[in-house]
Amino acid sequence: MTKRYEIRFSGAGGQGLITAGIILAEAASIVEGKYAVQSQSYGPEARGGASKSEVIISDSPIDYPKATVVDACLAMTQEAADKYANGIKDGGVLLLDSDFVKNEPKGNFKTYKFPITRTAKEEVGREIVANVVALGAMIALTDVVARESGEKAVLAKVPEAFLDLNKKAYSTGYDKVKDLLK
């Protein structure tokens, strides 16, 4: 079986979405032993501008490292939604930060939304972990890796002082989406 699964994380530069992509790729390739490639595309700005990070996960070696038709897409800002929430395959999924994406992209895919950044700030306690909330949410939405694999990869990536914060961020994002799916 050679199943290729493509995930795109998009938002503004500085939101940590490239890191979210790297953690997902680590969960797939290091924790679960699948094949994974993470790539990115960003503008010249250090902060701001639309940025995207793509992760391809497969049971066999991956040739083309960029997305062809996206199975699942995350958009954290309106600019990212306008620019990157395209090429989602029929029956694919799109997750939006509902506070920032007011003009929803239309297409033959299912859209889910919740205020991702606000959840990080108000429920988890720090806005800076919005990317980990988003990562938990995307894993819940796609089941592309197991919940525990994602958590293990998150915890392997963050400094010790922030383990609890990130663990909470990951679980909160994961649970929010599983509730939406009920």
Partner 1 sequence: MAKKVALLQGNDACAQGALYAGCMFFGGYPITPSTEIAEVLSIELPKRGGKFIQMEDEIGAMASVIGASLAGSKSLTASSGPGVSLKQELIGYACIAEIPCVIINVMRGGPSTGMPTGPGQSDVQQARWGTHGDHATIAVAPASVQEIFSETVRAFNLAEKYRMPVQVLYDEIVGHMRERIEFPEAGELEVIDRTAPTDSPEDYKPFDASKSDVPPLAAFGSDYKFHVTGLNKAADGFPTTKAELVDAEERRQISKVEKPEARADIESNEEYLTDDAEVVIFAYGSTSRSARYAVNELRKEGIKAGLFRPITLWPFPENRIAELAKQVKAIVVAEMNLGQMLLEVERVAKGTCATPFIGRVDGEPINPGQLIAQVKEAL
At a CB cut-off of 8 Å and minimum separation 6, what does 107 contact? Answer: 85, 86, 88, 94
Candidates 46, 63, 90, 102; binder of partner 1 (CB under 8 A) is: 63
Q: Should residue 86 be labelled a site residue for partner 1 when binding is judged by CB under 8 A? A: no
CA count, 13 A, side-chain hemisphere, 179: 9
Q: Should residue 48 be labelled a site residue for partner 1 when binding is judged by CB under 8 A? A: no
Question: What is d(CA 100, CA 153) in angstroms, rounded to the nearest whole number?
Answer: 28
Q: Is the Cβ of residue 66 or residue 148 nearer to partner 1 in the bound state? A: 66
Candidates 64, 148, 164, 181; binder of partner 1 (CB under 8 A) is: 64
| 85 and 103 Cβ atoms separated by less than 8 Å | no
Candidates 37, 72, 76, 141; binder of partner 1 (CB under 8 A) is: 37
Q: Is the Cβ of residue 43 or residue 125 nearer to partner 1 in the bound state? A: 43
* Helix residue spans in 120-162 (DSSP H): 130-142, 147-157
Residues that bind partner 1 (CB under 8 A): 22, 25-26, 29-30, 35-44, 62-66, 68
